[in-house]
Structure 1
């Protein structure tokens, strides 16, 4: 191989790894901002993160990167697009092409506004005051429209933003997929709501001491494989997972004294994200071969551990006796009653508390609203009314206030437009992957009853985590399951599970 190809590749990788160090420092600052930072530190934190975002952008768009990529384009190192070097070259070329379209001033302003927006969102939600948040939301929407215009798009500006989270996906593909999922869900929800069987969700609304919730949540997440030597659990306003390095994953939750599920299932969800990050090749950190495929695949991991595992009967055959030791309020509660309570289906206001059946309707609402905001068909000032109208139409309920309505999610305050559809895509991928894992491994519920979660984790690491970005999300689904992404496996799982629970 010519020496110039080797030198160019080594320089390209070195630049990417050095850039990842800066990004991990920024990630740590962002984690601190949402967990430990004193409120008065917000303004300067915005300047710190804006500065780092600018420096990262400089490194990603350095003309030398373009020269290295040009030298490698037709080299043997790029010949196999799924090889280690082929993946690195292909994905960094994609990143370079996109990032060079963005002015550094816009990148810095987006980062600065995201920090200030999240700080203001916390205040506005606590005060139930959308008007307080609206100016920063208006600025964020305008900046995201500028970003989409700079990147370019064929049909809708929303495509340019969606691509950040689900590379290659388009609104024309995602919109019908979500609508198809809604159409398949609607009759199932109607059947469940009309059933005479009514699980007692109030079992989860008794008193659950916060220290016991933390201890139990940590024990359960460790049992499924989250490594607390390479991670930690903290408290925040809106649960998330953040990485500060290849062996440093931060997961967060929020606790409610009178709601067991609020913290517990968010811990499992965020641990699922953390397990993916902990399973990526550590020696490839900073390179595409050491990074997650897409947010849809990331969400497939978190939703699978939260729902297919954590809300399964088999999981609680193992964990309910431990929960009854930890919480006096669960003593004497039968497995049937508890299993019904954690899987109660009813239209609800809060997305993160939604049951797994109606959850996708929450996502559809956000997808439609944020697309309208970016396309200019909806103005931020009109958002609360539009939000309430859609909740009434899709879920039959109207939020009593903005804190439990339009202000409930952190995403828009952070500029994460295009993120929401990946939650539903994650559900579909989770259903498809779990069905295949159960087929390959044989009777996963039996393993869960014994408290054995390692076989599933090892399967996920071999099939998904170890490959980094060698394959696209769609290619990965086809390679693992032999079929393209489909909502059929997930719907089938929902019908089987809730058909039994509700006597359908």
Structure 2
């Protein structure tokens, strides 16, 4: 056996070094595609979409070839023979690289290319259809995406004995939350629903209401942009290794070890939409910037599942960004950014209005309490789409019916209903459950951080975010994919993932805000 690498540092020679070189080569090619995809969402001219789809399909095929070819398999076999300690970064690298290889080899190159081409076109059509509130225009594209995702699920399940007897949806969910099943997720969601519905009803029946007019004033876009950048930078997002732009749907993407891109969208009558969108995406970005850059392209340098990723965005957005201590710190900055709009608005007024709870149409603008109900709706619908129980033609009507049953009113148009998210257009079916799982994980991490770091409230009120960021780096970021998502959370928080801490957090916080305690 060649000399073992250090716990987190990659080797410079030997079988593992050879494997890492191949993985980095493929990752570099993929980042070229990711750069084109980012440009497609931000700056691509309207007429450039068709050719961009061809570009991305070609790059997807080339990347797939490198990640499923005999050279990579040979390198994996050689590295697997090294006998690295089970708990080492090296062992995790080999194990997870094999897992990725086995999944990718179930997919034919033609399907990979077609998925890339179809989803690129679908995303551009989705943006146009959403502006026009025209589901009929988007329906053919959604049908094409769903057909291909069913083919992907079937191909993966055929090559994975552990997925053979499970719902087709599980093969897609497993790509975003490794090891999870729709049955397990449904059980977690049922407990969340049972805990959230009474809380939502209690808040609706209370006589407490924040001054919502605060968020209906005119907030110049330039001032919002500066305020958003300041907020992200204070939390720890490094703008020398990243940037912020606008897009139809907020997202974060990493184009290299020192190139992380955030996007948001602005509403001139509500600065909180862009601000919390940026805090959310900055949470993703801080995680990406905290991953071990020396392992770029390999599992120890990659995020540990989308549930853990969402835990970071939701922790920084909600547990930090919507806390009373945070608004003691940032309230003066908000009044300086918007002096006319927020004149005589106190820190407490701001804290209360950014924690306003009421059923809303748009998931990314939803409050902490009702947000998970939006995710439950999508989880149910996309399972039915993949199983074939929900025809694509019926998506808009069924969405509206289920939304009405859950929230008590119907979306006025598809733009506020089934067209509000880009995920299905992008082929990200199986992604939505990770948002609610991320909330569950975030609550557990927050509790653990409070126990270990002392008075977090004082730290946040003083604008001192470094201790929390350092704790997350130690417990989450630096490990990459060294552990399975549930194992990583258990190691950091002290117990397996459970919804209880999240429900307790919501009941205590919003019970106090709305006089329910």
Q: Same fold (TM over 0.5)?
A: yes
Tell me which residue corresponds to 2:38. 31
Q: CA deviation at 1:68?
A: 2.5
Q: The residue matched to 2:261 in structure 1 has which SS? A: strand
Distance 2:81 2:64 in 1: 26
- The reply to whether residue 100 of structure 1 matches residue 100 of structure 2 is no
- Partners of 2:206 and 2:515 within 8 A in 1: yes
Q: The residue matched to 1:499 in structure 2 has which SS? A: helix
Deviations 1:206-251 (A, max 9, x none): 1111100000110111011010000100011000001110100000
The match for 2:368 among 334, 339, 356 is: 356
Distance 1:305 1:69 in 2: 37
Distance 1:242 1:329 in 2: 33
Deviations 1:341-375 (A, max 9, x none): 10010011000110010000000000000000001
- Partners of 2:217 and 2:270 within 8 A in 1: yes
Q: CA deviation at 1:497?
A: 0.8
Distance 1:86 1:47 in 2: 37
Q: CA deviation at 1:82?
A: 2.8
Q: CA deviation at 1:9?
A: 2.3
Q: CA deviation at 1:340?
A: 1.2
- Partners of 2:19 and 2:79 within 8 A in 1: no
Deviations 1:457-499 (A, max 9, x none): 1110111000110011110111112100011111111111111
Q: CA deviation at 1:161?
A: 0.3
- The reply to whether residue 465 of structure 1 matches residue 477 of structure 2 is yes
> For residues 179-258 of structure 1, what are the structure 2 equivalents within 5 Å?
179-258=190-269
Deviations 1:372-404 (A, max 9, x none): 000110011000011001111111110011011
Tell me which residue corresponds to 1:425. 437
Distance 2:223 2:404 in 1: 37
Distance 1:67 1:290 in 2: 22
- Partners of 1:307 and 1:356 within 8 A in 2: yes
The match for 1:396 among 408, 433, 453 is: 408
Q: CA deviation at 1:39?
A: 0.9
Tell me which residue corresponds to 2:170. 159
- The reply to whether residue 266 of structure 1 matches residue 277 of structure 2 is yes
Tell me which residue corresponds to 1:54. 61
Tell me which residue corresponds to 1:22. 29
- Partners of 2:327 and 2:348 within 8 A in 1: no
The match for 1:110 among 106, 115, 119 is: 115
Tell me which residue corresponds to 2:70. 63
Q: CA deviation at 1:60?
A: 0.6
Distance 1:477 1:278 in 2: 20
Q: The residue matched to 1:411 in structure 2 has which SS? A: coil
Distance 2:453 2:26 in 1: 39
Distance 2:74 2:262 in 1: 39
Distance 1:322 1:92 in 2: 45
Q: The residue matched to 2:218 in structure 1 has which SS? A: coil
* Structure 1 residues 427 and 386: alpha-carbon distance in aligned structure 2, compared to 1, 3 A threshold: same
The match for 1:299 among 300, 307, 310 is: 310
Tell me which residue corresponds to 1:137. 142
Distance 2:231 2:350 in 1: 17
The match for 2:467 among 449, 455, 478 is: 455
Q: CA deviation at 1:104?
A: 0.1
Distance 1:377 1:289 in 2: 39
TM-score norm. by structure 2 comes to 0.95
Deviations 1:252-293 (A, max 9, x none): 000110011110000000000000000001111111000000
The Cα RMSD (Å) is 1.2
> For residues 439-450 of structure 1, what are the structure 2 equivalents within 5 Å?
439-450=451-462
Q: CA deviation at 1:81?
A: 3.0
Unaligned residue ranges in structure 1 (runs of 5+): none
Distance 1:194 1:15 in 2: 59
Distance 2:252 2:86 in 1: 30
Distance 1:194 1:33 in 2: 45
- Partners of 1:81 and 1:90 within 8 A in 2: no
Tell me which residue corresponds to 2:341. 329
User: Hey, which bits of structure 1, 4+ residues long, moved more than 4 A?
Assistant: none
Tell me which residue corresponds to 2:160. none
Distance 1:359 1:147 in 2: 29
Q: CA deviation at 1:337?
A: 1.9
Distance 2:26 2:170 in 1: 26
